[in-house]
Protein backbone atom coordinates (compact mmCIF):
# COMPACT_ATOMS: atom_id res chain seq x y z
CA UNK A 1 0.00 0.00 0.00
CA UNK A 2 2.91 2.33 0.69
CA UNK A 3 3.98 2.16 -2.98
CA UNK A 4 0.50 3.27 -4.10
CA UNK A 5 0.67 6.40 -1.94
CA UNK A 6 4.19 7.21 -3.09
CA UNK A 7 3.12 6.84 -6.72
CA UNK A 8 0.00 8.97 -6.15
CA UNK A 9 2.12 11.71 -4.54
CA UNK A 10 4.56 11.72 -7.47
CA UNK A 11 1.69 11.98 -9.97
CA UNK A 12 0.05 14.76 -7.96
CA UNK A 13 3.28 16.76 -7.81
CA UNK A 14 3.84 16.49 -11.57
CA UNK A 15 0.28 17.55 -12.39
CA UNK A 16 0.03 20.47 -9.96
CA UNK A 17 -1.61 23.45 -11.72
CA UNK A 18 0.39 26.65 -12.09
CA UNK A 19 0.09 29.12 -9.21
CA UNK A 20 -2.06 32.12 -10.20
CA UNK A 21 -0.80 35.67 -9.79
CA UNK A 22 -1.77 37.62 -6.66
CA UNK A 23 -4.36 39.57 -8.64
CA UNK A 24 -5.92 36.41 -10.10
CA UNK A 25 -5.93 34.77 -6.68
CA UNK A 26 -7.73 37.71 -5.08
CA UNK A 27 -10.25 37.82 -7.94
CA UNK A 28 -10.93 34.09 -7.52
CA UNK A 29 -11.43 34.55 -3.78
CA UNK A 30 -13.83 37.45 -4.33
CA UNK A 31 -15.77 35.35 -6.86
CA UNK A 32 -16.05 32.48 -4.37
CA UNK A 33 -17.31 34.99 -1.79
CA UNK A 34 -19.92 36.29 -4.27
CA UNK A 35 -21.05 32.73 -5.04
CA UNK A 36 -21.29 31.91 -1.32
CA UNK A 37 -23.52 34.94 -0.78
CA UNK A 38 -25.75 33.82 -3.67
CA UNK A 39 -26.00 30.26 -2.30
CA UNK A 40 -26.82 31.62 1.15
CA UNK A 41 -29.63 33.77 -0.31
CA UNK A 42 -30.96 30.80 -2.25
CA UNK A 43 -30.81 28.62 0.87
CA UNK A 44 -32.77 31.18 2.90
CA UNK A 45 -35.60 31.30 0.33
CA UNK A 46 -35.89 27.62 -0.65
CA UNK A 47 -38.16 25.06 1.01
CA UNK A 48 -37.74 21.94 -1.17
CA UNK A 49 -35.58 19.35 0.61
CA UNK A 50 -33.69 18.28 -2.52
CA UNK A 51 -32.83 21.86 -3.42
CA UNK A 52 -31.77 22.58 0.15
CA UNK A 53 -29.45 19.56 0.00
CA UNK A 54 -28.02 20.85 -3.27
CA UNK A 55 -27.44 24.28 -1.71
CA UNK A 56 -25.67 22.71 1.25
CA UNK A 57 -23.37 20.66 -1.00
CA UNK A 58 -22.63 23.70 -3.13
CA UNK A 59 -21.83 25.76 -0.03
CA UNK A 60 -19.46 23.07 1.24
CA UNK A 61 -17.75 22.86 -2.16
CA UNK A 62 -17.29 26.63 -2.22
CA UNK A 63 -15.85 26.58 1.29
CA UNK A 64 -13.39 23.88 0.20
CA UNK A 65 -12.41 25.99 -2.83
CA UNK A 66 -11.92 29.02 -0.58
CA UNK A 67 -9.70 27.02 1.80
CA UNK A 68 -7.61 25.92 -1.20
CA UNK A 69 -7.27 29.51 -2.43
CA UNK A 70 -6.45 30.70 1.08
CA UNK A 71 -3.69 28.09 1.33
CA UNK A 72 -2.29 29.29 -2.02
CA UNK A 73 -2.44 32.87 -0.81
CA UNK A 74 -0.46 31.97 2.31
CA UNK A 75 2.12 30.07 0.25
CA UNK A 76 2.60 32.97 -2.16
CA UNK A 77 2.67 35.64 0.56
CA UNK A 78 -0.50 37.58 -0.22
CA UNK A 79 -1.12 40.00 2.65
CA UNK A 80 -4.15 39.34 4.84
CA UNK A 81 -5.67 42.83 4.46
CA UNK A 82 -6.18 42.05 0.76
CA UNK A 83 -8.13 38.84 1.37
CA UNK A 84 -11.93 38.78 1.45
CA UNK A 85 -13.20 37.49 4.77
CA UNK A 86 -15.72 34.65 4.90
CA UNK A 87 -17.23 34.17 8.35
CA UNK A 88 -17.59 30.51 9.22
CA UNK A 89 -21.02 30.84 10.82
CA UNK A 90 -23.32 33.40 9.19
CA UNK A 91 -26.55 32.60 10.99
CA UNK A 92 -29.01 35.37 11.75
CA UNK A 93 -30.23 35.53 15.33
CA UNK A 94 -33.91 36.20 15.92
CA UNK A 95 -34.83 38.22 18.99
Kindly report, residue by residue over 61-88, the tens digit of the pLDDT.
999 999 988 888 888 888 766 556 665 5
Domain boundaries, the chain: 20-77
Is residue 91 classed exposed, middle or buried when 0-12, 13-18 and 19+ CB atoms within 10 A define those classes? exposed
Tell me how far apart the alpha carbons of residues 83 and 5 are, in angstroms, rounded to a whole number: 34
pLDDT band for 50, please (50, 70, 90 cuts): very high
First to last CA, the chain: 55
Kindly report, residue by residue over 13-38, the tens digit of the pLDDT.
666 666 778 888 889 999 999 999 99
Is residue 69 classed exposed, middle or buried when 0-12, 13-18 and 19+ CB atoms within 10 A define those classes? buried
Greater pLDDT, 85 or 50 = 50
Amino acid sequence: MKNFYEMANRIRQKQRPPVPSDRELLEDMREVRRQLDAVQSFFAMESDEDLLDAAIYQREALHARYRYLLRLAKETGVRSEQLPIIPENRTRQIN
